[in-house]
Chain A
Amino acid sequence: MGTASNLLFQSSDWNFETLAHTYDAIEEIALGDLGLDVYPNQLEIISSEQMLDAYSSVGMPLMYQHWSFGKRFVFEDHLYRRGRRGLAYELVINSNPCITYLMEENTMAMQALVTAHAAFGHNHFFKNNYLFRQWTDATAILSYMDFAKKYIAKCEERHGTPAVEAILDSAHALMEQGVFRYRRPPRLSSEKERERMRERLEYEEQTYSDLWRTLPPSGENNDPTQLEKELAERKKSLNLPEENLLYFLEKTSLILEPWQREILRIVRVIAQYFYPQRQTKVMNEGCATFVHYTIMNKLFDQGKISEGAMLEILQSHTNVVFQPGFDDPRFPGINPYALGFAMMQDIERICVAPTAEDRDWFPDIAGTGNWRETLLDAWANHRDESFILQFLSPALIRKFRLFLLTDEADDNFCEVASIHNERGYEALRGALARSYDIGVNQPDIQVMDVDLLGDRHLRLQHNVKDGVLLEENSRDSTLRHVRHLWGYEVSLAGVDAETGETLYECSTEELSD
């Protein structure tokens, strides 16, 4: 039979040979047809216990030891054993070569699906998206993790586990505040700095006039302008305000030993490494899901996958992209797989078969037909927020029947602000995009001022947006951690971002330990 021999695999059992030639068939479509560009792949077969291990160490193959990973393990393990939660079919690491874990329990059809999803979908995204290119170094991450693991083990040997754990606990508490959100201007080399200084002096010499000296002195030293000037000078020398608390503490704290600074740095590097993943959840999963869906259908069209296997693949695909409504007991929030996949498909539709409305909303891409380029471009140059803002179409808003609810804490009612109609599209799209902007949703806490020569009181400022304050218990215990790393008094002031009015103030002096 011609069609039978064309199949990549017949039974649901897999072996390395079928895995290999299925991979080749998938690769052909992924690179040839979709035009993906991927890191070399490394596929690793693991058992379910190993998957649990990987879960608990935040998905990295190498990780230093800390009790919080043990806590996560115990938690996941319990859910898994009670049958409350299944394990992921795969886990993929943004590294070069790109490591994908495949579970040994998967059937061959699932292995094919997972290979297309992770080894090509995610892999392409990691390699091409601007956030990953800018902020993560896929080639170096594994050796860095190896270094981190060994370094922390060595510290534990030298300084004792409790001491290292104390630093790690504090550093973990500030992980959210341990990332750079914007590129900073490159620091000037000391040579350039001197050059500037010299120019400034020259200028001053040239413009020197003895007349100024004859003016009477301007009263006392503590006049407000003078103080303000000093403050500005101080802030400038420390590069304040600073949003990356871990970075600031690592560089500026006066009480930390060199090894403690290195540990802060390790935690900060890991936080920064994962930061792009958190900003691109919808796109990353959408990209991977779209890729596996397209490739699997293509393979089926070529007669390389049997109908039975295809049914199995479609069933898990539908499970993955299932989006229950808001009033469904299963509703966990908007499913990033569902939203991402639907948007990718929608872009393909707009490019190929646009309606009049689409032409109105997306004049650039509607009807051009080259959906591949459009998608490749979107995957490379967007994050969730900008992607949704740019590409969420009215058709999709209607399909998901999205609505916008405004919820004020001291009101007993929520108000439906917009629904999926002509007047609501813009507002919905903006609000959904904003909800994926981590910069907006994470508390914005910055180092405002510290007088290193004086009382060394570290002043943090929380820029309160929309009146959303901090949960008090966790705020106070996190402040204690900051104090632990800083060594002197730390205070936090909540300042309304719009009015500039101070909403609350708290200091470690007031907190009991």
Chain B
Amino acid sequence: MPNFIDRRLNPKDKSLGNRQRFLKRAREELKRTIKERVKSGKIADVDAEQNVSMPARGVNEPAFQPDSNSGERRHVLPGNREFAAGDRIPKRGGGGGAGNAGAGTGQSEDEFQFVLSREEVLDLFFEDLELPDMVKLNLKESVTFKRRRAGFSASGSPTNINVGRTMRNSYGRRIALRRPSRREIEALADEIARLETEPGGRNKHRKRLEELRQTLDSLERRRRRIPYVDPVDIRFNRFEPQPLPNASAVMFCLMDVSASMGEREKDLAKRFFVLLHLFLKRRYERIDIVFIRHTDEAGEVDENTFFYSKQSGGTVVSTALEEMLRVIRERYPANEWNIYAAQASDGENISGDSERCASLLHDELMGLCQYYAYVEIIDERETEIFGTTDNGTSLWRAYRIVDGEWPNFQMTRIAKPADIYPVFRKLFGKQPEMQLRK
């Protein structure tokens, strides 16, 4: 008789630690892959499981291996049909020849695909955005829960005992089981005492007294047997985690698509939009995204067109704001929707229009929006010139005024991915006070 052991219930993720080590090792490669993904994928898809392929670079395990292109080899192969000794067979592609098929089995390991979980993807995505850890934690958490009263339960911790419920149960049980009340027993005892103290009563009522004593005795025994509060009576308050009520939000992505916005600018803008989307997704159950692109005229487009198609023309930023206003009026009334807007541009604008933008924001949009973020994407060389000053393009100067007046307006210049997060700092910072509309 052998020893049988059922291991099926053992913990199965024995390899989890190894897997994490591997991912850490492969980090650089994976980061590149995820970056590509963010560039080419949809904004809303960033925080999902990702199927990535992993080139062997950086994670290969070297060893002394024979070089397949040198020396003389001898292969014994099965299945000869027409060869005779002395036949010469041309090699395929000048390479190792027919015998190489056997040696080729290890090759498939060079590149392989596997699935990264949502957490792993976000980790990689956040890495060069330089978010403070607290914020990362917040974003990764998918839903926030609040404990909410939900009826009663028969088990729980003593601090949660519901006294009213417990006593009601106890009372009902006592009635049902006819537990003698104290008043009843006292009345009986009084009766006995009265009869006993009555002169000559002890003899006159002997039989009655006997009866009464017996009843009293049985009542008392019964009272002892049926406790006042039994464990079955006890009820606890029950709590269950309740997802926080989430309202809907709409996110407007505004971007200048004129020729001056190149590949790099668009990539940075996209990361900016993705981050805002991630943030909103955490707080709202439903998020609509509206893409508005503009040159000298603006239009609502789908995501693909937004990022990948080119349009020629001048640059009139106010058209985008007008378009946004139109869409809000038509579809997203501000009393039902939380409106967020993110605008990316290289700062170019036709002369005289910037003031119009500022007044549009000032008079109309800022009153409707929860939050408005503006990023100006500049060259890395320009950071040193413009980094801190108020000088800059006319659009920048006009927005400075809006920035001063509205606390929910944010603007910054970015030149590399790490610059993106500070734009949102204020937004993340004031989370607690921010009221959900509706």
Spell out A's residues near B (CB within 8 Å): 16, 19-20, 23-24, 40-47, 49-50, 52-53, 56-57, 65-71, 73-75, 77-79, 97, 101, 104, 119, 161, 165, 169, 172-177, 323-328, 331-334, 400-409, 411-421, 423-424, 428, 431-432, 434-435, 441, 443, 445, 462, 464-475, 477-478, 481
Contacts and interface: CB of A to CB of B under 8 A. Distances in A.
A335 to B, nearest CB: 9
Given A66-B21, A415-B88, A478-B64, A406 B101 contact: no
B77 A403 contact: yes
6 contacts: A119-B2, A172-B63, A326-B78, A328-B79, A435-B76, A468-B70
Nearest to B73: A407
Contacts, number: 274
Given A71-B25, A417-B85, A441-B66, 18 more contacts: A50-B7, A68-B22, A73-B22, A78-B115, A176-B63, A326-B78, A333-B105, A402-B76, A403-B83, A404-B74, A414-B91, A419-B84, A423-B85, A466-B73, A469-B70, A474-B62, A477-B62, A481-B62
Given A416-B86, A423-B85, A69 B18 contact: yes
Contacts of A101: 7
Contacts of B74: 404-407, 417, 431, 434-435
A70 B62 contact: no
A67 B21 contact: yes
Interface string B1-28: 1111111101011110111111111000
A31 to B, nearest CB: 13
A45 to B, nearest CB: 5
B9 to A, nearest CB: 9
A409 B71 contact: yes
A414 B89 contact: yes
Nearest to B66: A468
Given A23-B1, A66-B21, A415-B86, A443 B79 contact: no
B127 interface: no
A413 B88 contact: yes
B102 interface: yes
A16 to B, nearest CB: 6
Contacts of A466: 71-73
Contacts of B18: 56-57, 65-67, 69-70, 73
Contacts of B62: 173, 473-474, 477-478, 481
Nearest to B87: A416
A337 B7 CA distance: 28
Interface string B32-68: 0000000000000000000000100001011111111
Q: Which 7 A-B pairs have the closest CB atoms?
A: A325-B79, A70-B22, A468-B71, A70-B18, A333-B102, A467-B71, A67-B21
Interface residues of B, number: 67
Contacts of B1: 20, 23-24
B3 A43 contact: yes
Nearest to A77: B114
Contacts of B72: 406-409, 466-468
A275 to B, nearest CB: 15
A19 B4 CA distance: 9
A413 B89 contact: yes
B63 A405 contact: no
A173 B3 contact: no
Most chain A CB atoms below 10 A, which of B5, B18, B19, B24: B18
A404 B76 contact: yes
Contact of A332 (B24, B76, B81, B102): B102
B96 A407 contact: yes
A491 to B, nearest CB: 14
A331 B7 contact: no
Contacts of B20: 70
A450 B15 CA distance: 41
Nearest to B100: A407
A50 B73 contact: no
Contacts of B13: 49, 53
Interface of B: 1-8, 10, 12-15, 17-25, 54, 59, 61-81, 83-91, 94, 96-99, 101-102, 105, 109, 112-115
A151 B248 CA distance: 54
A461 to B, nearest CB: 12
B25 A50 contact: no
Nearest to B78: A400
A40 B13 CA distance: 29
B78 A323 contact: yes
Given A69-B15, A414-B91, A424 B23 contact: no
A436 to B, nearest CB: 10
Contacts of B22: 67-68, 70-71, 73-74
B400 to A, nearest CB: 47
Given A407-B72, A466-B71, A477-B62, A424 B85 contact: yes
Contacts of A408: 71-73
B90 to A, nearest CB: 6
Nearest to A462: B64
Given A404-B74, A407-B97, A467-B72, A65 B17 contact: yes
A97 B65 CA distance: 36
A450 to B, nearest CB: 19
A326 B101 contact: yes
Most chain A CB atoms below 10 A, which of B17, B80, B105: B80
Contact of B64 (A68, A177, A400, A424): A177
A466 B90 CA distance: 21
Contacts of A406: 72-74
A45 B10 CA distance: 10
Contacts of B114: 74-75, 77-78
Contact of B61 (A19, A173, A418): A173
A43 B73 contact: no
B91 to A, nearest CB: 6
A394 to B, nearest CB: 14
